[in-house]
Structure 1
Amino acid sequence: MTNDTQTRPQAAVVPDRASARAFVDEHILPHADAYDRQGAIPEELLERIGAAGLWAPFLPPETGGAGLDMVTLGEIHEEVGRGCSSVRSLLTVHTMLAWTLQRWGTAAQREQWGPLLASGGVLGAFCLSEPGAGSDAAGITTTAVPKGDGWVLNGVKKWTTNGQRADLFLVFAKTESSIGAFLVPRDTPGVTVRPLDDMLGTRASMLAEVTLGDVRLGPDALLGPSGFAAGMVLTGTLDLGRYSVAAGSVGIIQACLDASASYASRRMVGGSPISELPLIQAKLSDMVTDVRAARLLLAEAGRLKDVGDSATLMATWIAKYFASTAAVRHASEAVQVHGANGCSPDYPVARYYRDAKVMEIIEGSNEIQRITIAAEAHREGGR
């Protein structure tokens, strides 16, 4: 896709938690189960997200964004995750591309793509995982070989969120000296997209396998440095993705709490609502406690991002680990509260249960998280 339709950036909508919550309650929450069954997000909603200024509100106003801080971005992604993890997943990968462009792109790259990413005129996707490489980014086999003044990419990327719909891919590939990040428009010759359907969770996130066969790119396709410092690009991109997944996990816990509290107050056993049963009360109290704790961990990670403190990397690991494991635990309990109804498609907790499990795997599996957090504990002496 070219930037032929690019226009001067308009004054951006400035979203916040309250406006995001209202948007989710009106446009996402009532339809999330239908999206899950259909395995896709409708174009109408994608356009509404753009009109609400939710695609990349952290981009600067001169690019068409709202200059939003990271704490508020986390709150927005939490609200969207409360409504639908698939929609939040689309925001996540779009955020990863747009932030990386803003942080590492040249002035020409930012001018070409920034306004389109801010408005949603171009939607982004993140291509790192491969059939044989997931959390081990060093194990990727996709290559980027210099040719003339440009590059030739070959390889296969799998589990690409929004791959079925995205207009622009952020592709990580091995170069002679490191791992490079490349901007690859969907319509580039040699790019082939194969949908991946019937996944366990986030079934409407439009996953795809992206094959790159002798994809020829110009010198302006490289995003950021190509040498040793290229690792910083990947680290920063993954950190933003992890932050968004942590936020979405908080949203899942909140959704489980909302659904369980509502159901328990209506479900009668022996003439009384099950909300009066001590074991049900214990489940709800744990949900209340963990959603507040996870929200505080997320806010701390966002605050550290806003002040430019490198400690945000570990804070984000911790927030994502805690929130994702709590989401799985409480989604399971939410199904239990609902009994047989919780196993049916008539109640959203079955979707929360499936979506929550995905959160423990993406953007660094929980096993990798625990190793990383433990290593930091040793380095800091447990402080």
Structure 2
Amino acid sequence: MKLELTVEQQKWQEEFQRFVDKEVLPYAEINDKEERIHPNALKSLKEKGYLGSMLPNHYGGMGLDNITIGLLNEEIGRACSSVRSLLTVQGMIALAILRWGTDAQRAEWLSKFASGEAIGAVGLTEPNAGSDAKSIETTAIREGDDYVINGHKRWITMGQIADVFLIFAKCEGKPTAFIVERFREGFNTKPMSGLLGARASMIAELSFENCRIPSRNLLGQIGAGLSHVALSSLDYGRYTIAWGCVGLAQACLEASIDYASKRVQFGRPIRENQLIQKMITEIAVQLKASRLLCCKAGYLKDTGDPDSIMETWSAKYYASTMVTMAADYAVQIHGGNGCHEGYPVERYFRDAKINEIIEGTTQMHELLIATQEIVDVRRLLRRKSREGA
């Protein structure tokens, strides 16, 4: 594994940086206050084709490798966590259809996702089902050539503006995935506001009251909703969130250094204070470690290594806890100013915490990572024991 970016990846990174500074960053504060993605920012994303960054060229996508996809999410995460969340859910539903959909489903939707003609969302979480996804209560019953869906979803990112939803419901008692268009009768959305951070994620509640969809909208097989469709979608979600955390931490670092260089106390800039230097050091070093974890996960995805799934868990876990620390230190370095909306670190602080909850909480990551490490180490010890015998 090479630790440096290729020439092509570096060119993409520079392009992403220029785009974000011009088209995303100027709207970040407005997005947060208005709790929506500004139409200009959304338009720019569509025009650049970034909403289809994860899709193959023959569907109109950009066909980017996973490292480059990560760099895009890092740069957008540096400016606005909410805009980054749009890229995440767009990729989650698009890749689910790419991998598990029929030829007809791919032909109908993927080019629309790539161009931004269609915005997607993923409906898994419910009022009574979060980390325990198997306990979803939404149901889908086959009636003739249709499925009839009843139930509720909550905290659905981009639910306010999405045109099509990847919905998980129990069919024949087994979690199953369905494609549900917004226009379906019996399907309604209700905007949610007041989110702690990533306020422009445009979250919504979804309700299904005898919502009838054609049988062709079944995605994959009955019972494969969580084990196959959701697993691959969430893997992409965690990967892009991890990179977004790296970008947000980079913003915290830059803001902290800039402020500490300008803020004078006791006759000198506070950056000369050793305790301030300690906080900047911790942000910088852990940021680098997080970026390397993300790069490794991306590299393994690009090479088709099955270990990429667990490496993605590790990257998301470490990066999300790291960015919470980085934002905490950034506010501390800014002092009272860091607690006011006049400085972006106040928004960074709120946005950072969200990442420890979405696509698997910190605690769920700890349980899974520990379980897998125990299995791996025990297997290694047994092998060494056999070889020693």
TM-score range normalised by the length of the shorter chain: over 0.9
| 1:178 Cα offset (Å) | 2.3
Offset at residue 16 of structure 1 (A) = 2.5
What SS class does the counterpart of residue 65 from structure 1 fall into? coil
Secondary structure, in 3 states, of the residue corresponding to 2:179? strand
Question: 1:211 matched to which residue of 2?
Answer: 207
- Matches of 1:367 and 1:49, distance apart in 2: 33
Q: What SS is found at the alignment partner of 1:16?
A: helix
Kindly indicate whether residue 169 of structure 2 is the aligned counterpart of residue 173 of structure 1: yes
**1:215 & 1:250 partners in 2: Cα distance?**
40
**Aligned residue number for residue 346 of structure 1:** 342
Give me the whole-angstrom Cα distance separating, in 2, the residues matched to 1:228 and 1:73.
27
Match for 1:78 among 71, 74, 95? 74
Deviation readout 1:199-238 (Å, 9 max, x if unpaired):
1011111010011111111121111122458621111111
Structure 1 distance, partners of 2:53, 2:199, is 25
Cα distance change on mapping 1:36 and 1:373 into 2, 3 Å: same
Contact 1:87 1:204 in 2 (8 A): yes
In 2, are the aligned partners of 1:177 and 1:228 still within 8 Å (CA)?
A: no
CA contact (8 A) 2:338 2:345 kept: yes
Give the match's secondary structure for 2:31. Answer: helix
TM alignment of 1:231-270, pairs within 5 A? 231-270=227-266
SS in 2 for 1:209: strand
- Structure 1 residue aligned with 2:153: 157
> Match for 2:275: what amino acid?
L
1:161 partner amino acid? T
Unaligned runs of 5+ in 1: 1-14
**Kept after mapping to 1: 8 A contact 2:50/2:62:** no
1:173 and 1:344 map into 2 onto residues whose CA distance is 42
Counterpart-to-counterpart distance in 2, 1:99 and 1:70: 13
Q: Is the 8 A contact 1:178 1:231 kept in 2?
A: no
Distance 1:60 1:220 in 2: 23
Residues 142 and 93 (structure 1), Cα distance of their counterparts in 2 relative to 1, 3 Å cut: same
Mapped contact 2:100–2:219 kept (Cα < 8 A) = yes
RMSD: 1.3
Is the alpha carbon distance of 1:314 and 1:43 closer, same or farther for their aligned partners in structure 2, counting shifts above 3 Å? Answer: same
Q: CA deviation at 1:363?
A: 0.3
More helix by share: 2
Structure 1 residues 139-160: Cα deviation after superposition (integer angstroms, max 9, x where no partner)? 1101111111221111100000
CA–CA separation in structure 1 for the residues paired with 2:226 and 2:34: 38
Q: 2:39 aligns with which of 16, 36, 43?
A: 43
Which blocks of at least 5 consecutive residues in structure 2 are unaligned?
1-10, 381-389
Q: In the alignment, is the contact (CA less than 8 A) between 2:121 and 2:164 conserved in 1?
A: yes
Q: Aligned letter for 1:313?
A: I
**SS at 1:80's partner residue?**
helix
Q: How does 1:108-123 map to 2 (within 5 A)?
A: 108-123=104-119
Per the alignment, residue 295 of structure 1 pairs with 291
Q: 1:328 aligns with which of 324, 330, 347?
A: 324
How far is the alpha carbon of 1:244 from its aligned partner? 1.2
Moved more, 267-276 or 79-88: 267-276
Letter in structure 2 aligned against 1:338: H
Return the alpha-carbon distance in structure 2 between the equivalents of residues 368 and 94 of structure 1: 24
73-82 or 301-310: bigger deviation: 301-310
Q: Does 1:286 align with 2:290?
A: no
Shift of 1:29: 1.3
Task: Verify the 8 A CA contact 2:156 2:205 in the aligned structure 1.
Answer: yes
Is 1:135 the counterpart of 2:131? The answer is: yes
- Contact 1:181–1:222 (CA under 8 A) maintained in structure 2: yes
Contact 2:270 2:276 in 1 (8 A): yes
Contact 1:178 1:230 in 2 (8 A): no
Contact 2:176 2:224 in 1 (8 A): no
Conservation of the 8 A alpha-carbon contact between 2:97 and 2:105: yes
Partner of 1:94: 90
Residue type of the alignment partner of 1:72: T
Q: Shift of residue 299 of structure 1?
A: 1.0
**2:385 corresponding residue in structure 1:** none
The amino acid across from 2:277 in the alignment is: Q
Corresponding position of 1:308: 304
Match of 1:185 in 2: 181
Distance 1:183 1:115 in 2: 16
Q: Helix, strand or coil for the counterpart of 1:381? A: helix
Alignment correspondent of 2:268: 272
Residue 202 of structure 1 contacts residue 358 of structure 1 at CA under 8 Å; is this kept in 2? yes
2:136 is aligned with what amino acid? I
CA contact (8 A) 1:247 1:298 kept: yes
* Shift >6 Å, 4+ stretches: none
- The corresponding residue for 2:376 is 380
1:86 positional shift: 0.7
Structure 2 residue 359 is matched with structure 1 residue 363: yes
CA distance in 1, matches of 2:224, 2:93: 20
- 1:210 maps to a residue whose letter is L
The aligned counterpart of 1:201 is 197
Equivalent position amino acid for 1:348 in 2? P
3-state secondary structure, aligned to 2:371: helix
